[in-house]
Structure 1
Amino acid sequence: MKLTRLLTLVFAFALLFNIACTDDNNATNDMYYGGGVLLSNEGNFGKPNADVTFVSSDLNTKQDNIFSANNGSNLGDVLQTIGFSGENAYLLLNNSNKIQVVNRYNFKKVGEITAQLNSPRYIAFANNNIYVTNDKYNGDKYVSVYKASDLSFVKKITFTDNAERIVAAGNYVFVQNASFGFGNKISYISTSTNEVQNTITLPSGNINKMIANNQSVYAIAAGTTDSYIYQISNTGSITKTYTLTGITDATNLEIENGKIYFTSGLKVYTMDVTATTAPTTPLFTVANSVDPYSNLYGFSVVNGRIYTSDANGFTEDSKISVYSTTGSLLKTFTAGKGTNGAYWN
């Protein structure tokens, strides 16, 4: 009986230790966050409850709030996006008007940008500079430029149209002059002069998202009956158009390993980059949310897996569903409020 009791105690201690090491709510200081996925949790607008969740590559370990746990302070208000350059991660806070810079592997803060930020949206890196889009509702639209070496302000590049997503390709950074499905223009800025070189007008559809892949730029645009994906060279020419016949309001464009992924409503589609026709059936369909604005609030393809987020109306933690690239559901779990993206670290 004594041996049995001892084994029982040992098992209980081991179980307790395992739970402590994989606690969902508290990150362990000095943990290494490389080789896994970072989830950006937007938080509630007007509250400083944005933060980041770490998920291990095998999906067995999850730690929430890794910024606050490793820095002893709140991250800020509305984590819009995360950008990476070298060993640093740049956490862009839309409503706090700041960028928190951390070491991407231990999440200790190493710097901060606050100058010339007004409702910052997205970030790109090129030619030793940092480029940030700013788009104030009913206000200024511009790209603010900073030196990567010391985070000092360099220049403001103003726009009359929206300044939303921004990506680097070749010798330019491309700015999506469209937001929330309104607008059909993309401008590109020379990274040697930091001047706008030219503007591209897409022939059909309104842009929902722009990304870069293999030194080309891709934009997904929605029309009234069909949608379109445009491939744009790093010199500003439209080199290919994918017509998504019968698919309306396509968005959430992602490309990985020669495959294009996008969504329409609750449906997730995929096709080869070399495809000449649109897919006719979705890869899978996500469950409807309690709030229609929470459906697919986050959608990312990361390291051979598809991460989707249901924001649960921002009243509860987001529900994350992870799928294989063949559409099989691998795992579900919760993260913070308003999870809007997943990033391989």
Structure 2
Amino acid sequence: MKFSKLFLIALSVSLFVSCSNDEEDNTPKGVYDNGFFILNEGTTQGTVSFSSNDLTSFTKDVYSTVNGSDILGRYAQNIFFNGDNAYIISGGANNITVVNRYTFKLITKIETGLLNPRYGVVKDGKAYVTNANTYSYENAATGDTDDYVAVINLTTNIVESKIDLNATANRVVLKDGKLYITDAYNDKLLVVDIATKKLDAPVQIGFNGDCIEEENGVLYILKGGFGNSSELVKVKISDKTTTKITFPESLSGAGFMDIEDNKIYYTVGSSVYTMNTNATAASTTAILTSPATYVYGFAVNDGRIYVSQGNFTTDGKAYIYDLTGALQKELTTGVGTNGFYFND
């Protein structure tokens, strides 16, 4: 079959247009695209702040700005994402507020099946949220054993089932169909198979496990809050073998951890330290010391370090640094600033 020159020209133009249209569309999806949220736990109600990535635009209370008099509820704990939605967990209100992550407009609230919800992850249209259940300050020294994972259908926004843990539960990561849950009051890492909704054999890691991250098939768990001796436990997911780095006494009471570009960043007091993921000893040289007298939130993302001051009587502060420790921005946030969530 023969083609005319005009047809070939038209075909080449159409292919060029088609390929051009397939390129990534960088048009912002809403006012709160291309930035990060800062979660403020609050005492009577939580709030969410927002900053643009270039640090030139800031909104102290995004939720009220968009949704008027509606409130999140007490003790805003965690934010997780699924598609165009953000899910804001309020532990004191026993609910999850669902908003569009780019406009922050309220979609719905999940208000049944939750008791002291803590942290959430998502897989295949379902959220898995740890619940502290009857946890209270009275039993905080020993924890309790009635915690569970709420399984939420994100199409209906209904808690469809729960997985009893027979332990206390806090932070959670998801890898290869398994939930890995830290339990600061027990000496084990909990493992849940989401297909069977049953507990697998736990992994022995010792007491005070808190922050947990997964990188290249390895779980990193930081231990050492509240003045305890500090330790980093590495768990190889494939065979559940563990290795440990015991921190020197000068680094007792390690608080938070994040991993970025094969480097582990961790806090002790108001200072931030870093070491390679393959390190065998902890660094004792701080890369920065923030003005925060009580570090309550921490993250490392895209070449920046984020630290928050956890005031509970006045507005908190967020401090943003580059990786050399140079301060880039200080923001006045809300009460009890406890986390950073990146909306890119």
**Partners of 1:103 and 1:234 in 2: how far apart?**
34
Of the structure 1 ranges 134-143 and 124-133, higher mean CA displacement relative to structure 2 is found in: 134-143
For 2:23, the equivalent position in structure 1 comes to none
Please say if residues 306 and 323 of structure 1, whose CA atoms lie closer than 8 Å, have aligned partners that are also in contact. Answer: yes
Deviations 1:262-284 (A, max 9, x none): 11122211111122222121112
Deviations for 1:207-227, whole angstroms, at most 9, x for unmatched residues?
132223344322112398852
1:196 to 194, 199, 206: 199
Secondary structure of 2:253's counterpart equals: coil
CA RMSD of aligned residues (A): 2.1
Amino acid in the other structure paired with 2:342: W
Q: Distance in 1 between matches of 2:272 and 2:129?
A: 29
Contact 2:218 2:236 in 1 (8 A): yes
With normalisation by structure 2, the TM-score equals 0.82
Is residue 148 of structure 2 the alignment partner of residue 146 of structure 1?
A: no
Query: Which of 186, 205, 208 is residue 206 of structure 1 equivalent to?
Result: 208
Of the two, which has the highest radius of gyration? 2
Structural mapping, 1:265-344, within 5 Å: 265-287=269-291, 289=293, 295-312=294-311, 314-344=312-342
Do structure 1's residue 54 and structure 2's residue 53 form an aligned pair? no
Q: Shift of residue 78 of structure 1?
A: 1.2
Shift of 1:287: 2.8
Query: Residue 184 of structure 1 is aligned with which of 182, 187, 204?
Result: 187
Q: Do residues 133 (structure 1) and 102 (structure 2) align?
A: no
> 1:220-239 to 2 correspondence within 5 Å?
220-222=222-224, 226-235=229-238, 237-239=240-242
How far apart, in 1, do the equivalents of 2:339 and 2:51 lie? 13
Read off the aligned partner of 1:69 and give its amino acid letter: T
Tell me the distance in 2 between the aligned counterparts of 1:209 and 1:39.
18
Report the residue type matching 1:97 in the other structure: N
Give the Cα–Cα distance (whole angstroms) in 1 for the partners of residues 337 and 106 of structure 2.
21
Q: Contact 2:183/2:210 (CA < 8 Å) preserved in 1?
A: no
Identical positions, percent: 35
CA offsets 1:60-93 (integer angstroms, 9 cap, x no match): 1101211122122112211101011221111000
* 1:205/1:227 contact within 8 Å kept: no
Q: Structure 1 residues 170, 234: closer, same or farther in 2, change over 3 A?
A: farther
- Paired residue secondary structure (1:160): coil
1:247-262 to 2 correspondences below 5 Å: 247-262=251-266
Amino acid in structure 2 at the alignment position of 1:33: Y
Structure 2, unaligned runs of 5 or more = 1-28
Name the amino acid aligned to 1:63.
T
Gaps (5+ residues) in structure 1? 1-29, 290-294
Give the CA deviation at 1:259: 1.1
Q: Number of aligned pairs?
A: 303
Q: Which amino acid aligns with 2:42?
A: G
